Amino acid sequence: MLQVYLVRHGETEWNAARRIQGQSDSLLTANGEHQAALVGQRAKSLGITHIITSDLGRTRQTAAIIAQACSCPVTVDARLRELDMGVLETRYIDSLNGEEEAWRKQLVDGTPDGRIPQGESLSELAQRMRAALDSCLELPADSRPLLVSHGIALGCLVGTVLGLPAWAERRLRLRNCSLSRLDHQQSPWLASGWVVETAGDVSHLDAPALDELQR
């Protein structure tokens, strides 16, 4: 059985400011660096052998801190990037007008193939995230990889493993530096292939963490 751990990046300056990031970028806050150090200690105890990260700065920062804790190599996979949020990237959430907020809501309310203008659809996101996950099956036997990615991207991945469409209503909260685990296995009581073991675990953190909208 292959166990793959999933980590959302640490808190960024734009997370704290309620600003839309998408594939734009923002540095980790001091709190975000602290969160990454805590998840690094958790990763060390889990026997992580490989760290694979999105190519965006906030995930690479997070991955580097985790790698320092568990002495693992880091590789970059652009397929783990966050959803492209199109014309809304860099905008403050509270500044959106009614039409813009309706575009944003299409990403969370179950609108089939919802997307923001000039952005990426959730179906496109799901395809590249699943491809990145499946590539872990090519790692050497006894590997235990950890993927560092983003909130919408990881939520979409976990949802599709559960059999939901990529655009399903978003009901999984993945806070900064939360830890999830997917297993690839054969079981008489579960579907063959990828299954969800845990999602959104923050028990390793010592203070509440943010998601995209909740404080």
* Percent of the residues in the chain that have a pLDDT greater than 70, as a whole number: 98
CA distance 189 to 173: 27
Under DSSP, is residue 106 helix (H, G, I), strand (E, B) or coil? coil
Just list the catalytic residues: 9, 82
Residue 214 lies in a domain: no
The pLDDT confidence band at residue 215, using thresholds 50, 70 and 90, is: very low
Burial class (CB in 10 A: 0-12, 13-18, 19+), 166: buried
Residue 122: is its pLDDT beyond 90? yes
| DSSP class of 190 | S
CA distance 62 to 86: 24
Mean pLDDT of the chain: 95
Q: What are 144-154's pLDDT values in tens digits?
A: 999 999 999 99
The pLDDT confidence band at residue 210, using thresholds 50, 70 and 90, is: confident
Residue owning tokens 């509440």: 208
Paired tokens of 194: 């990828």
Residue 208 lies in a domain: no
Residue 207 lies in a domain: no
Range of the domain at 52: 2-201
CATH of the domain at 129: 3.40.50.1240
Q: What are 158-178's pLDDT values in tens digits?
A: 999 999 999 999 999 999 999
Residue 127 lies in a domain: yes
Structurally, the chain folds into a number of domains equal to 1
CA distance 180 to 74: 19
What Cα–Cα distance (Å) separates residue 146 from each residue in 70, 132, 165, 189? 11, 12, 24, 26
pLDDT of residue 207: 87
The pLDDT confidence band at residue 214, using thresholds 50, 70 and 90, is: low
- Asked if residues 178 and 200 have their Cβ atoms less than 8 Å apart, the reply is yes
- List residues forming the annotated binding site for substrate: 8-15, 21-22, 58, 60, 82-85, 151-152
Residue 84 lies in a domain: yes
CA distance 85 to 68: 31
Residue 7 lies in a domain: yes
- List residues forming the annotated binding site: 8-15, 21-22, 58, 60, 82-85, 151-152
Residue 212 lies in a domain: no
- Asked if residues 145 and 5 have their Cβ atoms less than 8 Å apart, the reply is yes
pLDDT of residue 15: 95
Over 118-178, what HEC string results?
CCCCHHHHHHHHHHHHHHHHHCCCCCCEEEEECHHHHHHHHHHHCCCCCCCCCCCCCCCCC
What is the Cβ-side half-sphere exposure of residue 12, based on CA atoms within 13 angstroms?
A: 24
Residue 187 lies in a domain: yes
CA distance 46 to 210: 24
